[in-house]
Amino acid sequence: MTAIPWGVSGAQARTIRLAWVGVLGIAGLWVWLAVVGGSYLSQTGQLWSAITSGQSLNVGPALVLTVLVLLAAEQRWPAVRRPFFSRAHIVDAGYLLLFAVAAMPVITLASNGLSLEIGRHASFLVLSYLPFVPSLVAVIVILVATDGMLWAGHVANHRFETLWRLHALHHSQEDMSVLTTFRTHPLIHATYLPALLPALLLEANGTVPRVALMVYGCLVTLPHANLRWRLGPLGRVVVSPAYHRIHHARDLGPRGTVNFGFVLVVWDWLARRAEFPTGGEPIATGIAGRTVPLEQVQARPSRLPLVFLAQLVQPFRRFSTTDWRR
């Protein structure tokens, strides 16, 4: 049995064990949904087309171009000047590659699995065609509700120890850039699956166009950019880089963590968790105490793959440093 870390009480140790079991449970659910979705797509001959369609939609030319433009903007107008080939960029680019090659196909399979299970066991939740609701209105409702569900999932990732184990990796980056958008544990995507519900439940009333989904995916990358941009009056509606940087602050203020929004600010405003930037020097980002293995502390670049692996393995450890220190 793994020894309890020094200074951790018995009650804390029980909470930590439950967090560890929770991570294993999420992994099991993720695999199960992927198997369900993969089996159905394979039987219907749609497996390969579904995977390639998901990759082209979520990591296609539009997103790649957006990332490249923002990387160029970061070099021209950085909030904090960093070398282009910094260790942070290299590691976070690795997460982008992991997302595109490995995580995205699993997300596609698990999403189909969730849709199938809702159809089998909770079809009463799916609304039939509503003739009095224009398709455009339904699409807008789906997009806004999806953003709200992502916000709720993000808040949950900060509130529950099991989910924080997975989410801490994202917050560990001390040299943020647009690539930090993809610095996520592959398993964290399971916690955002409920965001699919608005589209699944309202599908008969309107299907969100692919171009709208691509635009939304590109907008999600903007908040992590290493830019001072506050977006003027638009920054009161859409999450800006300066607004989201406050969310990643290393030293939390008296209000704790704020600014959970993905694209829209409204959810933070309604929950009284919005804190708008006022200018001044950029806030230092990361997690106090460096509870996640970091590329910044490695003396040799050749060890970056080991750091990458340690970051992915950490949530599965019986006792993780993210459990008793934030």
Instruction: Give the pLDDT confidence of 57-111 residue by residue, as tens digits.
Output: 999 999 999 999 999 999 999 999 999 999 999 999 999 999 999 999 999 999 9
Written as one letter, the residue type at 290 is: R
Note the pLDDT of residue 244: 98
Note the pLDDT of residue 254: 83
Rounded to whole angstroms, the Cα distance separating 83 from 85 reads 5
Is residue 1 very low, low, confident or very high in pLDDT (cuts 50, 70, 90)?
A: very low
**Three-state secondary-structure class, residue 271:** coil
- pLDDT exceeds 80 at position 4: no
- pLDDT exceeds 60 at position 2: no
Rounded to whole angstroms, the Cα distance separating 15 from 254 reads 25
Rounded to whole angstroms, the Cα distance separating 267 from 239 reads 11
Q: Which tops the pLDDT comparison, 319 or 234?
A: 234
Instruction: Give the pLDDT confidence of 5-57 residue by residue, as tens digits.
Output: 555 667 777 888 899 999 999 999 999 999 999 999 999 999 999 999 999 99
Is residue 252 very low, low, confident or very high in pLDDT (cuts 50, 70, 90)?
A: confident
Rounded to whole angstroms, the Cα distance separating 243 from 324 reads 28
Whether the CB-CB separation of 196 and 113 falls below 8 Å is answered with no
**Share above pLDDT 90 across residues of the chain, in percent, rounded to a whole number:** 83
Q: Where are the domains of the chain?
A: 10-321
Rounded to whole angstroms, the Cα distance separating 158 from 166 reads 10
- pLDDT exceeds 60 at position 3: no
**13 Cβ partners below 8 Å, 6+ apart?**
4, 319
pTM (two decimals): 0.94
What spatial distance separates the first Cα and last Cα of the chain, rounded to whole Å?
A: 24
- pLDDT exceeds 70 at position 326: no
Whether the CB-CB separation of 268 and 258 falls below 8 Å is answered with yes
Note the pLDDT of residue 8: 64
